[in-house]
Amino acid sequence: MERIESPTDDTSSIAPSEADLYFDERDDEGVKIINQSNSNLPDVMESTHIDSLIAQQMSKLSTDEREKAYFDIHGIANAIEETPELVQTRMQALDDEIGLLKETAAYQLAMTQNPAFVQDAAFRLKFLRADKFDAKKAALRLARHFDVKLDLFGPSKLVQDIQQADLEEGDIDALLVFIGHLPIRDSVGRLVRVTMAQKDDAHMKSEEAVMRALFYSLMVLSDDEETQKKGAVLVSWAVGFRQPPRVKMGPRFKSAVWAMVKLAMTAVPMRHEAIHLCYDNLLLAPVLALVKVSLGMYLGVRVRTHYGKEKKALEPNYSLLLSRAGNEAECQRKLQTFGIPTSAMPLNPSDMAALEQVWTKRKNYEMDPGFKTTKNSILVPGHLDVLLGRGRRCQEHIGNMRLRNLVEDCKPVYDNVSRKEKTLISQEIVETIKKNSDHFLKDEDVGWVEVDDQIARLKVSHTFRDVSKDANKTKAGGVAAKRERDA
């Protein structure tokens, strides 16, 4: 994807980023390997050679670039304040940058078919957010988006939202087996994507099936505003995965790795802040190293590998089952240091079956046009959303705990006012939560959906009652303990 430079452009100051794999002159060796045709790539790559390439790439990063990567990995980067003026000026800049690109045939075809779809403000804003309002990078991402969409789904689907009805049977299999996400976010509210290594590729109908499933899932997940602003984290889980002694990187493998990296990182409006590669088999090290090289410097420095030692190799009498459990626990502990909620992590390929219900609900939503016009279906609740329902997941959700804290702060006043005034206090709490684009959500047949203010007020009122019950139980327990001591 080439770009026509205007006389005032200064591309030398542009830091490596995701939009075109963000390779620059410092990535020469990595580009030589990745940009070769599959037939020219070696079938077997030595881990030491790839490590050398990675070291060369990383040594060319400035101190500021390394520090920024560290902040992104841990989710402590400064958030962009989105003002109407910023959005308006960046939208215009995006239009200008698209006009400077060469080879935008797919984009131009989409404009011919349905300009309203392509120029939709909410749609284009997703691409700007994915590249932190860098119009040049967002333009590259937007153009590539339509290139990939045209290749995967053809011209008839170019200017419509892809739904499960547009996927084939093999695509659905790939969606349920290879591609997933956690039902809760990390400690700073980022989406956590998960991929599971398979012992064989029996479930993979074709590379195209995986690509179509990946494109569909990422576009659905990118609809969420919190994900657009905060980005996502990717966890690749290969603990317990076994391969032959020499890892074969044949044409199919190399093609699949490169195509999925290119799609996920450069063709959809989702920014990946960090990538975690978990494994317990040293024979996978060259494969993971190749993936890291293919990401370029911007993402390569944001990759962390987590190796769970194979206790079975160290202790011959250690059972395979306990060995694998130990490896899983070690990798989980490492992920926890980055704020990833490993309690919800799928540890086996069979665990991915739990996603079937999520995607079934999404299909129900897509098949109900009447419902789509009134409410939006959410796959992963926001960090500070309030969840309606019972169970630990709702009780321990960050948004629910924040609601309880607000209720406890207001309880002294709430207990001493009239019923009408209690309703006003509940409404004020609802408005406090919703003013920052947070929601009160209920899990229904079409996914998580936002409830109206009346139901939200009832949730707040129930929380006041729960707090009172807990306070009474604590008080009663204290009184009983005092009597026991006095006796």
Output 391 or 402, whichever has higher pLDDT: 402
Mean pLDDT, range 210-229, rounded to an integer: 94
* Per-residue pLDDT at 477: 57
List the single range of 166-175, 192-201, 354-363, 418-427 with lowest mean pLDDT: 192-201
475 HSE (CA, 13 A, CB side): 6
The full length of the chain comes to 487
Name the range with the highest mean pLDDT among 23-27, 41-45, 371-375.
Answer: 371-375
Q: Residues 261, 121: contact at Cβ < 8 Å?
A: no
Q: Give the pair of three-digit tokens for residue 66.
A: 């390394």
| Backbone phi and psi for residue 378, each to the nearest 5 degrees, phi listed first | -115, 130
Query: To the nearest whole number, what is the mean pLDDT of the chain?
Result: 80
Query: What per-residue confidence (pLDDT) applies to 288?
Result: 78
pLDDT confidence band for 27 (50 / 70 / 90): very low
**pLDDT > 90? residue 251:** no
What's CA 47's distance to the chain center, in Å?
29
147-201 residue pLDDT tens: 999 999 999 999 999 999 999 888 988 888 778 899 899 999 999 999 877 655 4
- Choose the weakest-confidence range: 92-96, 140-144, 178-182: 178-182
Cα–Cα dist 146/268, whole Å? 9
Identify which has the larger pLDDT, 427 or 245: 427
Q: What is the pLDDT of residue 70?
A: 87
**Quick check: 319 pLDDT over 50?**
no
Q: Rounded to the nearest 5°, which phi and psi values hold at 432?
A: -60, -40
Provide the pairing of β-strand 440-444 with 303-307. unpaired
What proportion of the chain, given as a percentage, has pLDDT over 90? 44
> How far apart, in whole angstroms, are the C-alpha atoms of residue 474 and residue 401?
19
Distance CA 124, CA 129 (A): 9
SS3 201: coil
* Phi and psi angles of residue 409, each rounded to the nearest 5 degrees, phi first: -65, -35
Question: Other CB atoms closer than 10 Å to residue 319's CB: what's the count?
Answer: 11
Structure tokens at 308: 């769970």
Tell me the pLDDT band of 6, cut-offs 50, 70 and 90: very low
264-304 pLDDT, tens per residue?
A: 989 999 999 999 999 888 777 777 777 777 777 778 888 88
Of residues 438 and 51, the one with the higher pLDDT is 438
Residue 17: band (very low, low, confident or very high) from pLDDT cuts 50, 70, 90:
very low
**What pLDDT, on a 0 to 100 scale, did the predictor assign at position 64?**
84
pLDDT band, very low/low/confident/very high, at 83 (cuts 50, 70, 90): very high
Helical packing angle, 47-59 and 285-294, nearest 10°: 30
Indicate if the pLDDT at residue 450 is higher than 50: yes
For 199, 325, 347, the CA distances from 320, given in Å and listed in that order, are 16, 9, 15
Asked whether residue 325 carries a pLDDT value surpassing 50, the answer given is yes
Range with the largest mean pLDDT of 90-94, 182-186, 349-353 = 90-94
Strands (DSSP E) contained in 197-271 are 232-238
Q: pLDDT category, 67, cuts 50, 70, 90?
A: confident
* Higher per-residue pLDDT: 35 or 74: 74
Q: Minimum mean pLDDT among 238-247, 271-280, 346-355: which range? A: 238-247
